A = this chain, B = another copy of it.
Amino acid sequence: MNSATRQKIIEAAMELFWVKGFQSTSIADILSRTQVHSGSLYHFFPGKQDLLVAVLEYYRDGIEENLLAYAWKDVDDPIERIFALLNGYRIMLVTSDFAHGCPIGNLALEISEPDPKVRELIAKNFSNWVDAVEQCLVDAGPRLPADTDRKALAEFILTIMEGGIMQARTHRDIALFDRNIEVLRTHLDLLMREAERAIA
């Protein structure tokens, strides 16, 4: 069942979990931001954990239209799509003055003893992201060496995004992120050069 109130709660919780984290966001924070009252919130969500689950489901269901469609609307080249996606996170870091990191990555490290449902939803969010990047690498076809493990490389790219955000936020310096992306660029260039050599 869906309703405007329910949706409003999810979106407020999403924003607050993103910026403050799950533990540091109180139910009172969400109530005051939404102008919803406690009774309504608990009508939709039996507990705070259930709200977290709903937020993670919302991310999971929206990756295509909220993230990928936006990042890729002007980019067709599969390799450049990867960098366009990464650049989306860069813009988010800069425009939020480092308040917004990766919402999933934050939760992944914060939730130490997650109930299985939460952990699996975080994992699913990661693997959907990895699948999308893997598809780019598959679409790059013979530009990469034939024996390149494209899934492993896609996981590697998620790792770089997460680690790059972590370092950039900690130092409050986007150059950390940029240098990480540059090294990734070097790596892909080296792979593509290898592939060219194999053909020649």
C-alpha spacing A159/B127, complex, angstroms: 19
**Closest approach, in angstroms, between the C-beta of A4 and any C-beta of chain B?**
29
Q: Which residue of B lies closest to A173 (CB)?
A: B123
Known: A122-B170, A187-B187. A112 touches B159 (CB 8 A): no
**A37 contacts chain B at the CB level, 8 A cutoff:** no
Known: A109-B105, A109-B110, A190-B190. A119 touches B170 (CB 8 A): yes
Binding site of A, secondary structure by majority: helix, strand, loop or mixed? helix
Whether the pair A179, B162 counts as a contact (CB closer than 8 A) is no
C-alpha spacing A112/B28, complex, angstroms: 18
**Closest approach, in angstroms, between the C-beta of A74 and any C-beta of chain B?**
27
Looking at A6-14, A19-27, A60-68, the stretch in contact with chain B turns out to be A19-27
Which residues on the B side are within 8 Å of A126 (C-beta)? 167, 170-171
* Interface of chain A residues 152 through 187 with chain B (CB within 8 A): 152-153, 155-156, 158-164, 166-167, 169-172, 176, 179-180, 182-184, 187
C-alpha spacing A161/B108, complex, angstroms: 15
Which residues on the B side are within 8 Å of A191 (C-beta)? 190
**A106 contacts chain B at the CB level, 8 A cutoff:** yes
